[in-house]
Amino acid sequence: QCAARIPEAGAVLDLLEKCPEHQKKGGFPVVVFEGLDATGKTTVTQSVKDTLKGVLLRSPPACISQWRTVFDDEPAPLKRAFYAAGNYILASEIAKASTQAPVIIDRYWHSTAAYTIATEINGEVQDLPPAHDEVYQWPEDLLKPDLVL
């Protein structure tokens, strides 16, 4: 339905369908850096990648990042769906890259979860989902990193 209104959605779904389910990590470590915009994540991830002679990946992944501005202007559920799909596409890239070198990631699932929570509450602490809500649980079918900073 969405692809008729947003042609880019069809392309994102096509990429997502090509990703194998339940990605398995390779033998090299996978490290995610999270944080607010303009806090130095790009600088730090580049430096860590260089030091470890690793691979640097970003969320959303490069293959869909050109459509980020299209989805950022859409209602919150479509925007969240775009970033969630990006996590699964990125997981496929992580699985492949982690068989060859350490993988450093500039944002991943945590940013998507934080955005989801932020857009669903009124900004009041008492409006946060309860501690055991599924929004805080790592998706069972999404590749997990070894370390998140």
Tell me which residues of the chain have a pLDDT lower than 50.
Answer: none
State the Cα–Cα distance between residues 114 and 117, nearest whole angstrom. Answer: 5
Please report which helix (H) or strand (E) contains residue 79, including its range: helix 76-97
pLDDT for res 31: 97
The domain spans of the chain are 2-138
pLDDT for res 1: 60
The secondary structure of the chain in percent helix, strand, coil, rounded to multiples of 5, reads 50, 10, 40
pLDDT for res 126: 76
pLDDT for res 76: 82
pLDDT for res 123: 67
Query: How many other CB atoms are found less than 10 A from the CB of residue 91?
Result: 27
| Residues 57, 104 contacting (CB under 8 angstroms) | yes
pLDDT for res 4: 66
CA 105 to chain centre: 9
Residue with tokens 């090509």: 18
pLDDT for res 2: 66
The pTM of the full predicted model, rounded to 2 decimals, is 0.84
State the Cα–Cα distance between residues 54 and 41, nearest whole angstrom. Answer: 16
Is 2-138 in CATH node 3.40.50.2000? no
For the chain, report the end-to-end CA distance as a whole number of angstroms: 37
Q: In what order do the strands lie in the sheet with 30-33?
A: 55-58, 103-106, 30-33, 147-148
